[in-house]
């Protein structure tokens, strides 16, 4: 949630990290409403953190580890989860908390594979938000038998910015990034890239058809997040899915050869 910063004049606004070039733009438009904005944002984020802590405690008591899976719309979260459910079946019990603005399309698809799925539509009582927050996730947790699960993956609403600003009670954050999104996005939308523990660079099967230069993308990624693990994957062909599953098992605490 590090995107909002308060200045000495009381204003609060989006502000890039000091290790990234601060681009053009001024923030004077916030002067009139600065103090009010600070209060509203601080109250909102404090309430979210309070509920996220309660989610984390409930998950911990049930022995469930939780991964918050985020991406732009269509980067491949559900397709990757389809493969994940199949690959991990018989190893651990994976549950999914599916976040979408509307429809049960992804939830139905994943439930058809036998995984326990809890759907949260943000259009149903949550104002159609472009992300899941801790309160929304809490409502979805109430519909899962947590004691039957080992690992819960939260498929967040497809959006490249907002989901990364809200702690939902997860143990780790994963991001799916599709090579069709271009090389420069880590610089233009650094919030999620910075927040992620692992970044699945997906749709590599399409690389022969694109002018995407992987070395440039990785350079930009390292500029904003030098530490995230990177997994090259194709949820279509299955490339990289083993490595992704090994990372999930590592988060869960299951010993693996590749960890």
| Dihedral Cα 184, 189, 193, 199, nearest 10 deg | -50
Position 74 contacts ligand GTP (CB under 6 A): yes
Mark 103-122 with x for binding to ligand GTP (rule: CB under 6 A) and - for no binding: ---x----------------
CB of 99 to ligand GTP, least distance (A): 9
The binder of ligand GTP chosen from 48, 71, 84, 225 (CB under 6 A) = 71
Q: Which is nearer to Mg ion, 11 or 84 (CB)?
A: 84
Q: Cβ(75)–Cβ(68) under 8 Å? A: no
Which residue number is nearest to ligand GTP in terms of Cβ? 158
CB of 73 to Mg ion, least distance (A): 8
Nearest to 152 by CA among 201, 102, 100, 81: 81
The binder of ligand GTP chosen from 75, 88, 110, 245 (CB under 6 A) = 75
Q: Which is nearer to ligand GTP, 59 or 201 (CB)?
A: 201
**C-alpha to C-alpha distance for 54 and 167, rounded to whole angstroms:** 11
Position 83 contacts ligand GTP (CB under 6 A): no
Position 234 contacts ligand GTP (CB under 6 A): yes
Q: Which is nearer to ligand GTP, 48 or 79 (CB)?
A: 79
Nearest to 190 by CA among 200, 175, 169: 175
The binder of ligand GTP chosen from 3, 77, 83, 220 (CB under 6 A) = 77
Q: Which is nearer to ligand GTP, 12 or 241 (CB)?
A: 241
**In Å, how far are 83, 125, 129 from 65, measured between CA atoms?**
19, 27, 25
CB of 77 to Mg ion, least distance (A): 5
Q: Which two tokens stand for residue 36?
A: 């009010």
Q: Which is nearer to Mg ion, 78 or 202 (CB)?
A: 78
Residues 6+ apart with CB under 8 A from 238: 83
Position 161 contacts ligand GTP (CB under 6 A): no
The binder of Mg ion chosen from 78, 121, 122, 225 (CB under 5 A) = 78
Q: Which is nearer to Mg ion, 11 or 156 (CB)?
A: 156
Nearest to 113 by CA among 75, 151, 90, 83: 83
Q: Cβ(57)–Cβ(50) under 8 Å? A: no
| Dihedral Cα 135, 137, 141, 143, nearest 10 deg | 90
Taking the alpha carbons at both ends of the chain, their separation in whole angstroms is 28
Position 158 contacts ligand GTP (CB under 6 A): yes
Q: Contact positions toward ligand GTP, by CB under 6 A?
A: 71, 73-79, 106, 158, 202-203, 205-206, 234-236
């Amino acid at each position: 949630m590090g995107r909002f910063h308060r200045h000495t004049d009381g204003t609060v606004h989006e502000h890039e990290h000091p290790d990234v070039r601060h681009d053009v733009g001024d923030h004077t438009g916030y002067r009139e409403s600065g103090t009010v904005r600070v209060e509203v944002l601080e109250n909102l984020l404090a309430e979210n953190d309070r509920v996220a802590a309660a989610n984390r405690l409930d998950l911990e008591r049930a022995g469930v580890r939780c991964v918050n899976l985020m991406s732009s719309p269509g980067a491949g979260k559900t397709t990757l989860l389809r493969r994940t459910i199949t690959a991990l079946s018989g190893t651990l019990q994976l549950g999914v908390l599916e976040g979408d603005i509307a429809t049960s399309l992804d939830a139905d698809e994943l439930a058809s594979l036998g995984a326990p799925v809890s759907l949260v539509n943000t259009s149903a009582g949550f104002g159609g938000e472009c992300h899941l927050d801790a309160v929304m996730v809490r409502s979805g947790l109430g519909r899962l038998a947590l004691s039957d699960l080992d690992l819960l993956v939260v498929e967040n609403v497809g959006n490249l910015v907002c989901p990364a600003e809200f702690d939902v009670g997860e143990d780790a954050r994963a991001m799916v990034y599709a090579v069709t999104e271009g090389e420069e996005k880590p610089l233009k939308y650094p919030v999620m890239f910075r927040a992620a523990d692992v970044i699945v660079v997906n749709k590599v099967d399409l690389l022969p058809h694109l002018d995407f230069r992987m070395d440039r993308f990785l350079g930009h990624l390292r500029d904003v997040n030098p530490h995230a693990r990177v997994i090259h994957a194709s949820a279509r062909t299955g490339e990289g899915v083993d490595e992704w599953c090994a990372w999930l098992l590592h988060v869960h605490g299951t010993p693996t050869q590749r960890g």
